[in-house]
């Protein structure tokens, strides 16, 4: 009796890659829809990087970028030795830290609270109410904030006077202005950020809540042990993205709310670049400052993503 040997072919480790042109031919409409996005990033994100060489040149409008002479690290040294640089760097970092510590948890808390609301009409009404400020510009929001906090006609100071207190000049106080900045930012954007967390919460398996209820867990324990762990990847991703913008404070908000008496705590990199670059025509120095800001933001983004992968096992990439 003879035996026939059977040779088994080893399974391939990966799938056969289809040529790109076949994918384009099959899904050409998807690639056509992708063209505006690629064009936007190419024109407004990558093409302007051509102007980064201004930071190493003594740039003049008449001579242009190519005609301006190279000066090496002159503008970086001049920037780091200016009297205003420590102040704007400190203000940028502090305002971002305040917004991160106080403002970042607010959408999470609002989403958790909305998740517990059982009256559907009340839930929809309050959601619409807190979403509306996002669609107003900072010109409108700033006017409302200044009006509400006015020492003579503002409702806040009217309440202070009602209880026998003295009017508080919020917009010219170096103590109160950072708090006004953070609270106004939460007022405008917290409701919009809640949408992302509500979407994440809606994806949580309801059987987990049923099992926890059978085991005797109340709503607080279900939120702490089920809801928060399930939306943790979303929180981590948004936190990483937020850390990537730690060196960037919104120009419109600061510019609208800032007054001369509070410049020592309100002047940030974006307003300094506008004042020195646009108004005083110091293009090279402000380009150097913008490049410095971008490098620090990139380092923060990479380090936060690396730390997240080490601690939680997940990140953006």
Q: Count Cβ atoms below 10 Å from residue 216 Cβ, excluding itself.
A: 7
What is the pTM (predicted TM-score) of this model?
A: 0.82
What's the CATH code of the domain at 88?
A: 1.10.3720.10
Segments forming the whole domain that contains residue 197: 73-312
Task: Reduce the secondary structure of 114-168 to three states and give it as a string.
Answer: HHHCCCHHHHHHHHHHHHHHHHCCHHHHHHHHHHHCCCCCCHHHHHHHHCCCCCC
Residue 32 lies in a domain: no
Residue 178 lies in a domain: yes
Residue 57 lies in a domain: no
Interval 64-117: pLDDT, tens: 888 889 998 998 998 899 889 999 999 999 999 999 999 999 999 999 999 888
Interval 7-16: pLDDT, tens: 444 445 455 6
Domain count of the chain? 1
Alpha-carbon distance 232 to 226, whole Å?
10
Residue 97 lies in a domain: yes
Residue 84 lies in a domain: yes
Residue 230 lies in a domain: yes
Residue 27 lies in a domain: no
Residue 277 lies in a domain: yes
């Amino acid at each position: 009796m003879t035996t026939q040997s059977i040779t088994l072919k080893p399974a391939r480790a990966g799938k056969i890659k289809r040529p790109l042109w076949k994918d384009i031919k099959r899904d050409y409409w998807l690639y056509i829809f992708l063209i505006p996005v690629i064009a936007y990033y190419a024109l407004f994100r990558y093409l302007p990087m051509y102007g980064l060489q201004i930071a190493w040149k003594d740039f003049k409008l008449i001579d242009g970028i190519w005609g301006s002479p190279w000066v090496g690290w002159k503008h970086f040294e001049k920037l780091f030795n200016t009297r205003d640089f420590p102040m704007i760097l400190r203000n940028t970092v502090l305002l971002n830290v305040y917004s991160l510590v106080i403002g970042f948890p607010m959408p999470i808390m609002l989403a958790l609270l909305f998740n517990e609301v059982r009256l559907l009409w009340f839930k929809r009404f309050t959601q619409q109410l807190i979403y509306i400020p996002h669609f107003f510009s900072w010109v409108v929001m700033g006017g409302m904030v200044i009006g509400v906090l006015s020492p003579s006609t503002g409702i806040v100071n009217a309440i202070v006077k009602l209880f026998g207190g003295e009017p508080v000049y919020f917009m010219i106080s170096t103590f109160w202005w950072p708090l006004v900045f953070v609270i106004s930012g939460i007022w405008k954007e917290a409701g919009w950020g809640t949408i992302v967390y509500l979407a994440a919460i809606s994806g949580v398996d309801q059987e987990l809540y049923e099992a926890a209820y059978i085991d005797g867990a109340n709503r607080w324990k279900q939120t702490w042990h089920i809801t928060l762990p399930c939306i943790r990847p979303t929180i981590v991703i948004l936190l990483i993205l937020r850390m990537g913008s730690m060196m960037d404070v919104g120009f419109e908000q600061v510019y609208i709310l800032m007054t001369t008496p509070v410049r020592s705590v309100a002047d940030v990199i974006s307003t300094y670049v506008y004042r020195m670059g646009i108004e005083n025509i110091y293009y090279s120095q402000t380009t150097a400052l913008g490049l410095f800001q971008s490098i620090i933001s990139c380092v923060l983004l990479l380090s936060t993503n690396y730390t997240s992968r080490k601690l939680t096992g997940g990140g953006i990439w």
